[in-house]
Homo-oligomer: A and B are copies of this chain.
Amino acid sequence: MTDLLKRDLQLIAAGVDLFAEAAAGQAARVTRIDWSPPLAGTEADLATVLADPRRADANAEAVRRVQAVRALLVDVLPAGEVLGLGPRTMLHAGPPIDWVRASGPLRGALMGAAAFEGLVADPQDAVGPLERGEITLDPCHHHSAVGPMAGVITRSMWVFVLEDPATGRRAYCSLNEGLGKVLRYGAYSDDVIERLRWMSSVLGPILQAGVRRNGPVDVTAILAQMVQMGDEAHNRNRAGTLMLLRELLPAMIESGFPASDVAEAARFVGGNDHFFLNLAMPACKLALDAARDIPGSTMVVAMARNGTDFGIQVSGTGDAWFTGAAQVPDGLYLGDFGPDDANPDIGDSAITETIGLGGFAMAAAPAIVRFVGGTVADALANTRRMYEITLAEHATFAVPVLDFRGTPLGIDVTKVLRTGILPQINTGMAGKVAGTGQVGAGLVTPPLDIFPKALRALAAAAAA
Q: Which residues of chain B are within 8 angstroms of A325 by Cβ–Cβ distance?
A: none
Supplied contacts A242-B245, A250-B266, A376-B404, 7 more A-B pairs, CB within 8 Å: A229-B238, A230-B239, A245-B249, A249-B270, A250-B267, A375-B403, A376-B403
17 A-B contact pairs sorted by A residue (CB < 8 Å)? A228-B230, A229-B229, A229-B230, A239-B239, A239-B242, A242-B242, A242-B243, A242-B245, A246-B270, A249-B249, A250-B267, A253-B259, A254-B259, A254-B263, A375-B403, A376-B403, A380-B401
Residue of B nearest to A266 (CB): B250
Binary contact track A257-276/B, C-beta < 8 Å → 1, others 0: 00110111011001000000
Nearest-CB distance from A243 to chain B (Å)?
Answer: 7
Residue of B nearest to A366 (CB): B400
Query: Of all chain B residues, which has the CB nearest A228?
Result: B367
User: Is residue A251 within 8 Å, beta carbon to beta carbon, of the partner chain?
Assistant: yes
Interface string of A231-249 (1 = CB under 8 A from B): 1000000110011011101
User: How many copies of the chain does the oligomer comprise?
Assistant: 2
* B251-A263 in contact (CB<8A): yes
Q: Using Cβ atoms and an 8 Å threshold, which residues of chain B touch A243?
A: 242
> Which are the 9 A-B pairs with shortest beta-carbon distances?
A242-B242, A366-B400, A246-B270, A250-B263, A367-B400, A229-B230, A253-B263, A228-B367, A250-B266
Beta-carbon contact of B253 and A253 below 8 Å = yes
A270 to B263, CA, bound (A): 17
Distance in angstroms from A376 CB to nearest chain B CB is 5
> Which A359-409 residues have C-beta < 8 A from chain B?
366-367, 369, 375-377, 380, 400-404
Instruction: Give the shortest distance, in Å, between A19 (CB) and chain B (any CB).
Output: 35
- A239 and B229 within 8 A (CB): yes
Q: Please give, as numbers and ranges, the residues of chain B lying within 8 Å of A253 by CB-CB distance.
A: 253, 259, 262-263, 266
Collect the chain B residues with CB atoms within 8 Å of residue A254's CB.
Answer: 259-260, 263
Known contacts A230-B228, A242-B242, A254-B263; is-contact A401 B403 (Cβ 8 Å): no
The distance from the CB of A48 to the nearest CB of chain B, in whole angstroms, is 42
Give bound CA distance, A251 to B270, whole Å: 13
Residue of B nearest to A260 (CB): B254
Contacts of A229 in B (CB 8 A): 229-231, 238-239
A262 and chain B: residue at smallest CB distance: B253
Q: Which residues of B contact A250 (CB under 8 A)?
A: 263-264, 266-267, 270
Docked Cα-Cα span, A73 to B321, in Å, equals 54
A401 touches B366 (CB 8 A): yes
Q: Which B residues touch A367, using CB under 8 A?
A: 228, 400
Distance in Å: Cβ of A166 to nearest Cβ of chain B: 27
Over the window 202-236 of chain A, the binary record of Cβ atoms lying under 8 Å from chain B Cβ atoms (1 yes, 0 no) is: 00000000000000000000000000111100000
Residue on B nearest A402 in the bound complex, by CB: B376
A242 to B270, CA, bound (A): 10
Contacts of A247 in B (CB 8 A): 270
Closest to A271 in B: B246
* Residues in B whose Cβ lies below 8 Å from that of A249: 245, 249, 263, 266, 270
With a cutoff of 8 Å between Cβ atoms, the chain B residues found around residue A263 in the complex are: 249-251, 253-254
One of B264, B369, B401 near A376 (C-beta < 8 A): B401
Residue of B nearest to A268 (CB): B250
Residue of B nearest to A375 (CB): B403
A251 to B259, CA, bound (A): 10
CB pair A400 B246 closer than 8 Å: no
Docked Cα-Cα span, A425 to B231, in Å, equals 26
List the B residue with the shortest CB-CB distance to A265: B250
Chain B proximity of A424: nearest CB distance (Å): 18
Q: Provide the A314-337 mask, 1 if CB < 8 A to any CB of B, else 0.
A: 000000000000000000000000
